[in-house]
Structure 1
């Protein structure tokens, strides 16, 4: 109470009011000292952003989310995340769900899961494109998609949604038809083989951030068409190479825009297509032409030391070759391609604490991503082909990588993470949402209307006897027939008849006639 009276008395005093007015004027005119401008530290922020971006794309996104000023001075990935390799999610792999739940399945509600091969993190993304597309391959974390109704190829960044359009694969049909000389083979290719060839590919993509042009190469894994198709995002059609690749190809690997072929202990490298300037003397004009040069031999495996099967895989931006020794098929050796190019054969006992999953393609997984996967190990089929084994490079011993013999039949769920990762090594199972099983051929299920081979095709290796199968979804009778053990044949209902089914047998030059199987 006394303090309030004192304040009232001081306010009534004119001298006191003058002092208060002066103090108020000083408070109003007071301005805090200026903060150090961010421009003084922009170089430091950009340097930190480059270091973060070199490690993980999602960490870069979190860095830009700190404040608006950091977002202003750092490069935005939106709209350029495909053409600029810095923004590629190279450590992320689309994870197969199993149970034939392919990406875009209605039960998944448009959600697709991705697995980080370095940290083991999981990310669930909503990708509506999968309603009308399916994944052909994965390049540096980008998804190479094919549209259902027109076979258009699109390159998708799953985390930003950026898309780069490439020409339709249907433009390759006129170039592939002349390669099939007999009339029966041409009709067969038009109905069947064309789609099968288009889906057995290994893709390599190179980028030009300056002009935003994307160049893609598709190496066909089929021995019937051992060639490479190439195109850019500015082209209207794909171009088929005039030369053939080495066949049969044991392994194909895509690395930094190049394709590596492995055949008979020899490694061939294919560079991206080059744009050449061509001058026409008649019209006195200069035009550009995209040319793909044949692959060149770069290295030879130590044939006296290793034997088949030989695998190639990318690990820490290096290409590694994994093979069994000739002295013992239970011993596995790992070599650097860079050492083989220099003529050195030095086996590795360590691969940086990573593990290599090997089959149709190699997948490098850090031991931090999965605790049960031993560091510096190779996960591959055991030489006895009884189970999926894990070979330890340091000790030279084998152990079982996972429970369940999926070589003889489907593994019951729930699946282990090793099953999911190993399925990523086979594109045929990976994009269909099925776990790898050697005894079971993957199918599209509900999406078979667009993605199954046309005109009711059934493609397989016959079992050595003749029998009849009924397909209730198509109402077709398909006869399996094998003239010789192990012969790969295709059975197709080209034209429905009342009492007979036409069958074409390909793969044997002497058998080119149309064989009719009585119903």
Structure 2
């Protein structure tokens, strides 16, 4: 009868098993987790999961100052670091998490003979590193009716549904979404055929974000702006004497051209939003 011999597991397997033998416990105002683990024999091994909240938050701030995508990757490392840092998915208008250096590329659509093109996903490229990511944005698939899209200078996407008049803001890197009031009352006095053209890419729909996190839109380049924040019941109308064009943001303030006059949108808790002539007109 042949004898059997037992073999011990390889040394590297024992080391991996030792690393996994970690017990975590919540504690008070100090570190968000405490790691109680047997000392590892692996050279250079560190229990980074036990990093206190203070150092973890400092590292997160450094990472976020470079790019919000790297900040999301940092938080994905472990639950301890996520508990120490702010969640970028909570508020789409939080300026800390706005995409920087990210540009939107043409969408990827599926084309089949005899069928209309079907949206698959959107692509975004980092203009500094050339990194590309992709994201499926709800609403652009056309299942809930035709959706129009505008991009703010802060990197956010503003979507407008033709069927429901709903408006929502999307951070394409974090996926955070904020809903705004329908634009139904904002379109009073205008023919919808002059606002919503047959093809979404033909709509002159502009959107920007002010310093106090108010969204400003101008549909079709008409004589009216709309201002709203999440939670508002309706859009505030801001009328202009002439057609509005050259819609942009400088230093957190919204500027536009009303005819040949440079105007700036003033927002204050003391009065309703209004357009006034800019102190330093642009030269064209």
Where on the TM-score scale, by shorter chain, does this alignment land: which range? 0.5 to 0.7
Q: Could you tell me how far apart the structure 2 residues matched to 1:107 and 1:147 are?
A: 18
Instruction: List aligned pairs for 1:1-16, cutoff 5 A.
Output: none
Local SS of the residue matching 1:58: helix
Offset at residue 229 of structure 1 (A): 1.5
Asked if the contact 1:204–1:257 (Cα under 8 Å) also holds between the matched residues in 2, the reply is no
Unaligned runs of 5+ in 1: 1-30, 178-188, 209-213, 277-289, 304-309, 311-519
Contact 2:148–2:162 (Cα < 8 Å) also in 1: no
Residue deviations 1:316-340 (CA, integer Å, cap 9, x gap): xxxxxxxxxxxxxxxxxxxxxxxxx
**CA offset at residue 221 of structure 1?**
5.3
Partner SS, residue 90 of structure 2 = coil
- Whole-angstrom distance in 2 between the partners of 1:160 and 1:265: 39
- Cα distance in structure 2, aligned partners of 1:67 and 1:237: 41
Instruction: Give the CA deviation at 1:88.
Output: 1.6
- Partner Cα distance (1:215, 1:263) in 2: 21
Matched residue SS, 1:293: strand
Distance in 1, matches of 2:121 and 2:259, equals 42
Counterpart in 2 of 1:508? none
CA distance in 1, matches of 2:167, 2:98: 18
Q: Does 1:218 align with 2:212?
A: no
Deviations 1:492-515 (A, max 9, x none): xxxxxxxxxxxxxxxxxxxxxxxx
- Alpha-carbon offset, residue 239 of structure 1: 2.4
Aligned residues: 232
Listed as ranges, the gaps of 5+ residues in structure 2 are: 1-36, 40-45
Q: Where does residue 92 of structure 1 map in the other structure?
A: 102
Q: How does 1:30-41 map to 2 (within 5 A)?
A: 41=52
Q: Which SS does the other structure have where 1:130 is aligned?
A: coil
Q: 1:172 offset after TM fit, Å?
A: 2.0
The answer to whether 1:244 aligns with 2:240 is yes
TM-score (norm 1): 0.39
In angstroms, what is the RMSD of aligned CA positions? Answer: 3.6
Name the CA distance, whole Å, in 1 between partners of 2:226 and 2:174: 28
Q: Aligned partners of 1:37, 1:136: CA distance in 2, in Å?
A: 42
Give the structure with higher Rg (CA): 1
Residue 259 of structure 1 aligns to a residue whose secondary structure is strand
Pairing 1:393-472 to 2, within 5 Å after superposition: none
Distance 1:37 1:99 in 2: 42
Give the SS at the match of 2:279. Answer: strand
Offset at 1:37?
9.5
Partner of 1:68: 79
Which residue number in structure 2 is paired with residue 195 of structure 1?
196
Q: Does 2:276 correspond to 1:295?
A: yes
Q: Aligned in 2, Cα 1:218/1:264: closer, same or farther, shift over 3 Å?
A: closer
Give the corresponding residue for 1:455: none
- Show the 5 A alignment for 1:200-279: 200-206=204-210, 214-220=213-219, 222=221, 225-241=222-238, 243-244=239-240, 247=243, 249=245, 251-255=246-250, 257-262=252-257, 267-271=262-266, 273-276=267-270
Aligned mates of 1:171, 1:107 — CA distance in 2: 32
CA contact (8 A) 2:108 2:122 kept: no
- Structure 2 residue 176 is matched with structure 1 residue 162: yes
1:454 corresponds in structure 2 to none
Per the normalisation by structure 2, the TM-score is: 0.67
